[in-house]
């Protein structure tokens, strides 16, 4: 077993640390800052991270003997050997995490559902604690499709046409001014450019009209989409129609 001890994790040379998804501070003792690098254990931890494809939140890793005594750890805790890790389950399915850890080669498992973490180590094959309750995978509720895809929206098309035509008209006006001032040989083209500018203006006005019509039609469609309310029942939320009240029967 290849191990290296540092009196503080800040003393670890950058060249001596090869576990890309973890830092010396994450693995060091939480109480003293001391660090025992257990290379085979860290290799397995990195392999587990690669297999799961998501971050491992390390609650606790190496413990110095004095800190292990302070927190009431086992007298022969594997965390004093740098061969055990407490991993938070906040972003993992405990069942899938345990299966992946066993496949990598971890042998000892401690389950702490109330504290939200799982202990894994390279001691003898054993396990303790109450397993995590079954966690159903949450899927987002299906939503009905939008009334129109944005790219097919008449409002977008009308607004886009109006914008392009406005820019075209402005561009023609600039070109017309430049030609009139600098190129006398092309002055016969100026009347045609003036006609083209008016064409762009007409297209812009048509686009604006399409946009306004589409907005009004969408608003009317929203009024039509509500189901008719029966007599005497309150109107649906957001419904602008009034329902006829049922005539009261006299005794």
- Chain segment 39-82, per-residue pLDDT in tens: 999 999 999 999 999 999 999 999 999 999 999 999 999 999 99
Q: How confident is the model at residue 216 (pLDDT cuts 50, 70, 90)?
A: confident
Q: What is the dihedral of CA 98, 125, 6, 10, to 10 degrees?
A: 10
Cβ distance 41 to 71 under 8 Å? no
Q: What angle do CA 51, 52, 57 make, to 5 degrees?
A: 120
What's this model's pTM, rounded to 2 decimal places? 0.55
Give how far the C-alpha of residue 175 lies from the chain's centroid of Cα atoms, to the nearest Å: 48
Q: Which residues pair with 84 in a beta bridge?
A: 121
Cα torsion angle, 93, 95, 100, 106, sign:
positive
Return the percentage of the chain with pLDDT > 70, whole number: 63
**pLDDT mean over 182-208:** 70
The pairing of strands 108-112 and 126-128 is: parallel
SS3 219: helix
- In this prediction, residue 5 carries a pLDDT of 97
């Amino acid at each position: 077993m290849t191990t290296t001890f540092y009196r503080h994790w800040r003393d670890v040379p950058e060249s001596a640390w090869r576990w890309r998804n973890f830092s010396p501070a994450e693995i060091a003792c939480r109480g003293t800052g001391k660090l025992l690098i257990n290379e085979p254990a860290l290799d397995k931890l990195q392999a587990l991270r690669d297999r799961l494809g998501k971050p491992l939140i390390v609650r606790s890793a190496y413990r110095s003997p004095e800190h292990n005594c302070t927190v009431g750890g086992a007298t022969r805790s594997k965390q004093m050997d740098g061969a055990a890790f407490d991993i938070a389950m906040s972003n993992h399915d405990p069942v899938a995490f345990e299966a992946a850890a066993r496949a990598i080669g971890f042998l000892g498992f401690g389950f702490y559902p109330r504290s939200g973490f799982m202990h894994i180590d390279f001691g003898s094959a054993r396990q303790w604690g109450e397993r995590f309750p079954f966690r159903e995978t949450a899927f987002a509720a299906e939503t009905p499709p939008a009334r129109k895809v944005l790219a097919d929206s008449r409002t977008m098309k009308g607004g886009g046409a109006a914008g392009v035509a406005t820019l075209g008209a402005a561009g023609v006006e600039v070109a017309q001014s430049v030609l009139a001032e600098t190129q006398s040989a092309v002055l016969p083209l100026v009347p045609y450019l003036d006609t083209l500018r008016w064409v762009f203006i007409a297209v812009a006005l048509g686009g604006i009209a399409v946009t306004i019509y589409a907005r009004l039609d969408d608003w009317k469609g929203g009024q039509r989409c509500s189901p008719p309310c029966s007599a005497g029942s309150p109107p649906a939320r957001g419904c602008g129609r009034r329902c006829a009240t049922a005539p009261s029967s006299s005794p």
